[in-house]
Amino acid sequence: MDEKIKAFWEQLKTERDELRVQMHLASAELKDEWEVAEKKWAQAQKKLDVALKEAGDKAREARDTLSIVGDELGDAYGRIRDRLNDKG
């Protein structure tokens, strides 16, 4: 798999792990947004697993999908982090 995608995914994973630790301080609305992001994470993780096992067009398709979902997750995690920081 493309090293750039792996690095991006690891960055998202790190941010997700850091936010998970802080979620106990979050409002109900923010927790709802977290749950939506977690569902996207699970779907994206499945696609990543497939991409790692497959080659060719399917891997490119999965990589493209991961890029889109990764951007969405990055945005969601950024909003969550900003709102958590506003509380502190």
What are the pLDDT digits (tens) for 71-80?
A: 899 899 999 9
Percent of the chain with pLDDT over 70: 90
C-alpha 30/C-alpha 52 separation (Å) is: 32
pLDDT at 64: 82
Asked whether the predicted pLDDT for residue 52 surpasses 90, the reply is no
What's the mean per-residue pLDDT of the chain? Answer: 84
Taking residue 20's Cβ as centre, other Cβ atoms within 10 Å add up to: 11
The model carries a pTM of: 0.59
- Domain assignments of the chain as residue spans, ordered by start: 3-87
